[in-house]
Amino acid sequence: MLATETGMLGQVLLVSLVLGAGLPVLFGLGLRAMAWGAGGDAEEHPAGVAPRPHPLGRALGVLCFALAAAGVVLGITVVVASGLGYEVGLGGGPLFVEKS
């Protein structure tokens, strides 16, 4: 019984770390990537040197923001589904499934 509860606590800890700390870190990485993508005064540089823009930075920033937004939307979906008496099934995409 204790092993089962410890396993469940481990799962809760993992999800809370990924969503609680992971999404803000992902958002911060997106900001940093967008600054790198913009170049110029948007990122830190020595005096007299203006870095050039990097298109890869903009693409990475958009990807990080999209993943963070998807995590937030999925979290809201789970909360709404639970409130309506459903659960979220991920068979081919997020679906509302009747609780059994």
Which pLDDT belongs to residue 44? 74
Task: Give the tens place of pLDDT for each residue, 21-31.
Answer: 899 999 999 99
pLDDT of 90 over the 80 cut:
no
Please list, in sequence order, all residues whose beta carbon lies within 8 angstroms of the beta carbon of residue 58, skipping any fewer than 6 positions away.
33, 34, 37, 38
Inform me whether the pLDDT recorded for 41 exceeds 80: no
Tell me the pTM.
0.74
Distance CA 64, CA 93 (A): 20
**For residue range 64-84, what is the model confidence (pLDDT) as tens digits?**
999 999 989 888 988 898 888
